[in-house]
Amino acid sequence: MTSTDAIAPAEPATRHRPVIVRVLRNPLGIVSTAVLVLIVLAAVLAPLLAPYGPNHAEIGDTLAPSSAGHLLGTDSAGRDVWSRLLWGGRLTLLSALLCAVVAIAIGLPAGLIAGYYGRGFDSASSWAANLLMSLPAIIVLLTVRTAFGPSVWISMVVFGVLISPSYFRLTRTAVQSVRNELYVDAARASGLGDARIITRHVMSVVRAPIIIQTALIAGVAIGIQSGIEFLGLGSPQEPTWGAMLSEGFRNIYVAPTVMLWPALAIGLTVAAFVLLGNALRDALEDLPKVKAARSAKGAAAHAGAEAAPPGTLHASVPAGAPAAAVPGTDGHLLDVRGLAIGYPTSDGAVKRVVDGVSFHVDKGEVLSIVGESGSGKTQTAFAVLGLLPDSARIVAGGITVDGVDTVRPAEGVVSHARLRALRGTRIAYVPQEPMSNLDPNYSVGHQLNRPMVKLLGLSRADAKTRVLDLLDRVGIVDPRRTYDLYPHEISGGMAQRVLIAGAVGCDPDLVIADEPTTALDVTVQAEVLELLRGMRDELGVAIVLVTHNFGVVADLADRVAVMQHGHIVETGAVRDVLGSPRHAYTRTLLDSMLAGKEPLTMLTATTGATA
């Protein structure tokens, strides 16, 4: 396969600085971090730093001012204020941590599931979140205190439950925004399961807001907990800053400083958490910028994340048995029979956007589906890949891939359970917009590596060797360097090569390429077509090539199916269809191309697919 300068990595690589470095470059970040580190250290080292136990009392020395024996004086029970401040810090910080852990443990998984899967769980959990948010927290906490006694731990667990909807909503919204991203579809098409997609691709989007939220919630939890203790509702046995505040308030006119120290500690800690939250937000804001940079670059993206070994690609791959002849499919690798796809309309009907579509593809064959924009090419391809939106319905027909019925008549939807076993290893995907199909959060190598480790069971080292070889084969000039680059650091043409490498990485039998050259400039288009040809000639991969361009069809395809308004109007060998088109629509498409016109804009509709 060829390599050109056009696909050398961009210079210089604009690498992410680690978040911690970015936080520490921000004055607010460094001050808040320093304050929190000091407070946490003081709390952790309380047994060493505190001269007295938290409840050690000297009855004869109450409300004493600062002295050599009592650095910050004593309280009304003769207890050392400095020691209680240190011990109190332990309890106060731990209780805030407990509150955040409880809130995250409930809100995060619930938000992930509700955002990713939607439907019934989403409705039920949203209802529960609304209910929790409508409860007045302070009344609930007072009730719990009455029922269970004055325990700071129980209060913080309950408060954690009460604020868990904030994590739920944050997570759910973030997941909903990323659920339909092309790189999530591409990861699905490459064979990764839901659990892995959620933990790797979706969680990376949620991580930043969760971290920011946790810094803020920790501050709020300390404030609430101190408030409860200040009201005198805490346990007298548990030294907390809130309890010290309450004690100091009762003696404010006699010894004002007893109240000053816990107030300072609470104020400093809450302010430091809030400032740290803001600094984290600033530091993590780079992510959308990176995404924007990627979209601006425009082209290439993820078609899977797998690779194949040098020389004998097929021989090294533990693919399943060859496709057996399946009754009704004549042994075709892909067999689509009378497929109809529809979407519900507001009047309750179902509008068919694909209707009565039948075609087949055999091993090592390239079938091109050609047609104007909106003719149903992508919907057909997505039905094969199982990437149709949730609202889509398979109104009629069936699809068999490599002997497996992924769509059975009357089932109404694509069977993801049956398709899952085929994804990546038997069927792969090369998308239209390479950039949007690569996850911005992971390096190119990482994304290519994962499916091979998961689907082929390779070690990470073996998978890396395989990825490097594949990157070389698809014409990447410096595979080792490209391996470590992030998607925004490569060009569109490179991204499409990366995706092609990924598509063949687990040695599939069938690749669905959806307008793989549309987003690329003319020179790179030719190179990508050459790569697809190599995929067919060298690896024997069958390709379904979706395009609106007859030039691409003539260049690469063995057979062609012409689509208009959801129907296949003509199909046959490329030579026959291009040499003597029988259908008026095919002639119009060809004429427009020969006249140098853009076929997508000059066609006029003559028939329509309807419900």
Ligand X SMILES: Nc1ncnc2c1ncn2[C@@H]1O[C@H](COP(=O)(O)OP(=O)(O)OP(=O)(O)O)[C@@H](O)[C@H]1O
Residues found near ligand X in the complex (CB under 6 A): 343, 353, 371, 373-379, 389, 391, 548
Task: Give the list of residues 6+ apart from residue 249 with CB closer than 8 angstroms, or none.
Answer: 230, 259
Name the minimum Å distance from CB 372 to ligand X: 7
Looking at beta carbons only, is 210 or 545 nearer to ligand X?
545
Task: Give the list of residues 6+ apart from residue 133 with CB closer than 8 angstroms, or none.
Answer: 165
Instruction: Specify the long-range contacts of residues 414-422, CB closer than 8 Å, at least 24 apart.
Output: 414/383, 414/386, 414/388, 416/386, 419/386, 420/191, 420/193
Looking at beta carbons only, is 285 or 390 nearer to ligand X?
390
Full DSSP string of 383-440: HHHT---TT-EEEEEEEEETTEEEE-TTT-S--HHHHHTTBTTTEEEE-S-TGGGS-T
Give the Cβ contact number of residue 592 at 10 Å.
Answer: 18
Residues 319, 317: Cα–Cα separation, whole Å: 5
Name the minimum Å distance from CB 381 to ligand X: 8
Name the minimum Å distance from CB 485 to ligand X: 29
Looking at beta carbons only, is 4 or 345 nearer to ligand X?
345
Looking at beta carbons only, is 152 or 563 nearer to ligand X?
563
Looking at beta carbons only, is 375 or 400 nearer to ligand X?
375
Inter-residue contact 212 to 281 (CB < 8 Å): yes
Looking at beta carbons only, is 283 or 341 nearer to ligand X?
341
Name the minimum Å distance from CB 298 to ligand X: 17
Between vectors from CA 186 to CA 185 and to CA 188, what angle results, nearest 5°? Answer: 65
Inter-residue contact 10 to 489 (CB < 8 Å): yes
Residue 312's Cβ-count burial label (10 Å; 0-12, 13-18, 19+) is exposed
Inter-residue contact 587 to 563 (CB < 8 Å): no
Name the minimum Å distance from CB 186 to ligand X: 16
Question: Residue 585: which of 602, 609, 572 has the closest Cα?
Answer: 602
Name the minimum Å distance from CB 384 to ligand X: 12
Looking at beta carbons only, is 312 or 604 nearer to ligand X?
604
Task: Give the list of residues 6+ apart from residue 411 with CB closer than 8 angstroms, or none.
Answer: 394
Task: Give the list of residues 6+ apart from residue 159 with CB closer than 8 angstroms, or none.
Answer: 99, 137, 141, 221, 224, 225
Q: Strands 334-344 and 393-401, how do they pair?
A: antiparallel
Name the minimum Å distance from CB 391 to ligand X: 6
Name the minimum Å distance from CB 564 to ligand X: 9
**114 strand-pairing partners:** none
Looking at beta carbons only, is 215 or 369 nearer to ligand X?
369
Number of residues written out for the chain = 611
Name the minimum Å distance from CB 31 to ligand X: 50
The amino acid sitting at 77 is A
Looking at beta carbons only, is 64 or 303 nearer to ligand X?
303
Name the minimum Å distance from CB 571 to ligand X: 16
Looking at beta carbons only, is 221 or 394 nearer to ligand X?
394
Whole-Å CA distances, 85 to 50, 259, 552:
9, 11, 75
3-state secondary structure of 349: coil
Inter-residue contact 188 to 414 (CB < 8 Å): no
Looking at beta carbons only, is 226 or 378 nearer to ligand X?
378
Number of H helices, E strands in the chain: 24, 10
Name the minimum Å distance from CB 2 to ligand X: 27
Burial annotation 141-176 (CB, 10 A radius, 16+ → b, else e): beebbeeeebbbeebbbbbbbbbbbbbbbbbbebbe
Name the minimum Å distance from CB 563 to ligand X: 7
Looking at beta carbons only, is 166 or 547 nearer to ligand X?
547
Full DSSP string of 195-218: HHIIIIIIHHHHHHHHHHHHHHHH
Looking at beta carbons only, is 115 or 376 nearer to ligand X?
376
Name the minimum Å distance from CB 548 to ligand X: 5
Residues 61, 84: Cα–Cα separation, whole Å: 16
